[in-house]
Amino acid sequence: MDKLIITGGEQLNGEVRISGAKNSALPILAATLLASEPVTVCNLPHLHDITTMLELLRRMGVDLVIDEKLNVEIDASTIDKLVAPYELVKTMRASILVLGPMVAHFGEAEVSLPGGCAIGSRPVDLHIQGLRAMGAEVVVENGYIHAKTNGRLKGARVFFDTVTVTGTENILMAATLAEGQSVIENAAREPEVVDLAECLIAMGADISGHGTDTIVVNGVEKLHGCRFPVVADRIETGTYLAAVAATGGKIKAKNTNPKILDAVLQKLEEAGAKITCGEDWIELDMEGRRPKAVNVTTAPYPAFPTDMQAQFSAMNAVSEGVSILKETIFENRFMHMQEMIRMGAKINIDGNTAVVEGVEKLQAAPVMATDLRASASLVIAALVAEGDTVIDRIYHIDRGYECIEEKLQLLGARIKRVPS
């Protein structure tokens, strides 16, 4: 497994180009299974999770053509295997997103249960409840979800008692081809859900209310092809902004979308950043100052995203003052903090709350990544640590951050990848 070696202490300055959003690309790639004509998806990030999803579709017999820019044309009409096998699903839980489209378009699906993951148990009971409400017969046995429907799914009212992003996406996709109207209540409002809805509308779906907690879908007989660019990655954007803020530097994030990052930008301004935005760029300038500590409580969009909590705990670790971080979405998303404590961070953890007392700088140490965003936070911690930090198990990073060392080197970071 590769490692990253980072020599901390540099103030980061420069420009970075943001990639397409992983968490928008994954449901949109799954949505191509709904179409009766080829769909071309553009602005895909070059990430391991994207290649895993493409591999899953290919294993199902779906015809896909990839061009040199990683734009992918997908023709689901060649599908011949309605199965998402455990060997792929265990490496990427977002594979569950093929469940709704497969049942809605082909009448059946066999999808491995994703199992738990480092940050929590992450059940998919709400996905299954939603499909049952639409008339699907769903049996869970031997670690697989077996779903089928005789004829079309039926439009239904689906209420989620917990806001679930991929649960909303699975039911939204299934509803596009169901007979009659579906209403999804307490729906996720994330920008990636909105991006998926916009793609489905471009394919001929009849959807309204996306971006609110109530989405209305009038089912149609079939969906046609389209060419769709995925939205910019707001979490990648926030990660680079937080990294530069931690070092007291200046950055211009290009090819991004400032309108889907309000909660994060507000917290960065609270931390002392000067922020200016354009149509597709965000500039952050700390004017050489150390960030001030900011309190963070994660919650569903538009509140502060759980996927940015780890990065902010790293920034808070070297900020002026004491901060409180509350994680309300996942039950075990503080693992990165144990590693930061080994680097000299002053953090007290009590259940889903962490109190961080900022220190001037951290000390380099050998650390290990445990999940995607935790590994990004360890990169930030290493950037503000004295000495050379070695981060192991960085395959987690490659799942969500395209060319992270090149982008950070462009900002002046001393970072290199070494094969282990």
Q: Please list the active-site residues.
A: 117
Given 78, 116, 143, 162, the residue binding ligand EPZ (CB under 6 A): 162
| Residue 204 within binding range of ligand EPZ, rule CB under 6 A | no
| Residue 210 within binding range of ligand EPZ, rule CB under 6 A | no
Smallest gap from residue 332 Cβ to ligand EPZ (A): 10
| Residue 84 within binding range of ligand EPZ, rule CB under 6 A | no
Radius of gyration of the chain (CA): 21
Footprint (CB under 6 A) of ligand EPZ, residues 5-24: 23
Binding segment for ligand EPZ (CB under 6 A), chosen from 99-107, 160-168, 197-205, 208-216, is 160-168
φ, ψ of residue 393 in degrees (nearest 5): 55, 45
Smallest gap from residue 244 Cβ to ligand EPZ (A): 20
Given 28, 30, 31, 124, the residue binding ligand EPZ (CB under 6 A): 124
Q: Toward ligand EPZ, which CB reaches closer, 36 or 328? A: 328
CB proximity list for 34: less than 8 A, separation 6 or greater: 76, 101, 104, 105, 173, 176, 177, 200, 203, 223
Q: Toward ligand EPZ, which CB reaches closer, 290 or 399? A: 399
- Number of residues assigned to the chain: 420
302 prior amide bond cis, ω within 30? yes
Binding segment for ligand EPZ (CB under 6 A), chosen from 119-127, 137-145, 171-179, 381-389, is 119-127
CB proximity list for 187: less than 8 A, separation 6 or greater: 160, 163, 168, 172, 193, 209, 210, 212, 213, 214, 215
Question: Is the distance from CB of 144 to CB of 137 less than 8 angstroms?
Answer: no
Smallest gap from residue 126 Cβ to ligand EPZ (A): 3
| Residue 120 within binding range of ligand EPZ, rule CB under 6 A | yes
Given 98, 246, 329, 364, the residue binding ligand EPZ (CB under 6 A): 329
Measured distance CA(385)–CA(379) in Å, rounded: 10
Given 14, 107, 123, 135, the residue binding ligand EPZ (CB under 6 A): 123
The binding site for ligand EPZ (CB under 6 A) comprises 23, 26, 94, 120, 122-127, 162, 164-167, 306-307, 329-330, 372-373, 400
